[in-house]
Chain A
Amino acid sequence: MREVNVSSVTDAVDRLCRSANEVLGEDVLAALKAAREREESPAGREVIDQLLENARIARVEGEPMCQDTGLAVVFLEVGQDVHLAGGDIEAAVNEGVRRGYVGGFLRKSAVQDPIDRRNTGDNTPAIIHTRIVAGDKVRVVVAPKGGGAENMSALRMLTPADGRAGVKAFIVDTVRRAGPNPCPPIVVGVGLGGTFEKAALLAKEALLRPIGQTSPDPATADLERELLTEINRLGIGPQGFGGRVTALWVSVLTYACHIASLPVAVNINCHAHRHVEAVL
């Protein structure tokens, strides 16, 4: 049994909220540079140039790369042999978000009630997903999610008869209908299978996979490859100005599902593809 004080989780979340918003990941930068080479549209190339310059300014000046610093989506993987001491773990996570967003000059984009819509003032509560895993570590992943691309996400309960073709059609159509709104070039996370809520969570988790990494399952890797190609044939392009690069990557996570169901969830992320982690 290893004791981990929740204050170290607070500190990690505080730090990760800030760095996620200021420093774009190496895999995303590499993907944008490769996209710049592949893009044929002059307007599209100029957008990508601006995004790369923007990422540089954000990193150097310690400013958020996008003003929408998102809701704090936090994944906790707690080892079975860990004893979390010193307070309530979710309160500790929220305190980390509060410190990161207030102290870090990040935007307060949370409203407490979806109908009443009064701002909570400190970007809490975080959206927390916790899993118990083997071992004695605590892994904290902070993946701030902005509203624009999230609003273009979709889930449908297909039927088994819809099959692989129906799955692909729904995913590609979701991207088509989103058009310029999610700030292309986008990253697409897909959850296939599970139940209604499991599919959605899988789609969000799929977005944590590094760009360039395919599914370890060959059939799923084929699906990912085909989806990326078909999405990029839509011609939406960077910022929807028209072009060859609409999506930088597609990741698919699958799970067992009911004999009567074929749930598909599409979680769209913009090019401010932010996720950072710490292991305590």
Chain B
Amino acid sequence: MLELKTPLGDEAVAALRAGDRVLITGHVYTARDAAHARLMKSLQAGEPLPFELKGQVVYYVGPSPAKPGRVIGSAGPTTSGRMDPYTPALLERGLKAVIGKGSRSMAVREALKRYNAVYLAAVGGAAALITRCITANELVAYDDLGPEAIRRLTVERFPVVVINDARGGDLYEEGLKQYCQAGPA
């Protein structure tokens, strides 16, 4: 079990391999479909983004609302593939890791190699468990998007698994190679 602190350095990211189990401590920025669309619009218009990308981590999540006295509601990952169209541009600008679940496109996997970044998976549906790792929750942008707003979460030992490393490794492919008993598709 590797421990990583944000912001993430190039060396630490380059050393990760598909299948590595990692505990992340520090800050992650939440963003999913609607927030990514707005970030892209800003990038294309040459406008500044609501947060600095270099060395940072984006977590694809739309949390349920926090009960009174709680930091956040349940906060497990959403399906990453929907953010594929937006991801290479963010990686190009220094984003070092994205956390979600489910497979990424070849374009994203190529961009991870090109820009030295990694794709990590949190366990989908273990939302109440993941919430226990979140110690603070601060609105950053797009409040009108409700659960889809960009928030800065402070996390402590948030467990994730490396799916795609910066060298082209893919845990989903490795898993199938090891366990698939079906004939060719």
B-contacting residues of A (Cβ < 8 Å)? 40-41, 43, 47, 50-51, 53-54, 57-58, 61-69, 105-109, 117, 119, 121, 147-148, 151, 172-173, 176, 179-181, 183, 230, 233-237, 239-244, 270-272
Contact = CB atoms under 8 A, between A and B. Distances in A.
Interface stretch (B42-50, B88-96, B109-117, B176-184): B176-184
Given A54-B129, A233-B180, 20 more contacts: A41-B178, A50-B123, A57-B132, A58-B128, A63-B127, A64-B73, A65-B125, A66-B74, A67-B74, A105-B67, A107-B64, A107-B65, A119-B148, A147-B79, A181-B101, A183-B124, A235-B175, A235-B180, A236-B179, A241-B171
Contacts of B19: 43
B131 interface: yes
Nearest to A59: B128
Nearest to B132: A57
Interface of chain A: mostly helix, strand, loop or mixed: loop
Interface string B147-184: 11000000000000100000000011011111111100
B101 A63 contact: no
A121 B33 CA distance: 17
Nearest to A245: B179
B125 A242 contact: no
30 contacts: A41-B175, A41-B178, A50-B126, A54-B129, A66-B76, A67-B61, A67-B75, A69-B64, A105-B66, A106-B65, A107-B62, A107-B64, A109-B62, A148-B78, A179-B102, A179-B103, A181-B79, A181-B101, A183-B124, A230-B182, A233-B180, A233-B182, A235-B179, A239-B101, A241-B171, A242-B171, A242-B177, A244-B179, A270-B125, A272-B125
Contacts of B85: none
Nearest to B174: A242
A240 B172 contact: yes
A64 B124 contact: no
Contacts of A151: 79
Contacts of A41: 175, 178-179
A41 B171 CA distance: 13
Contacts of A50: 123, 126, 129
A66 B175 contact: no
What 7 pairs between A and B have smallest CB-CB spacing? A242-B175, A235-B179, A235-B180, A183-B124, A181-B102, A107-B64, A233-B181
Contacts of A65: 74, 125, 127-128
Nearest to B159: A50
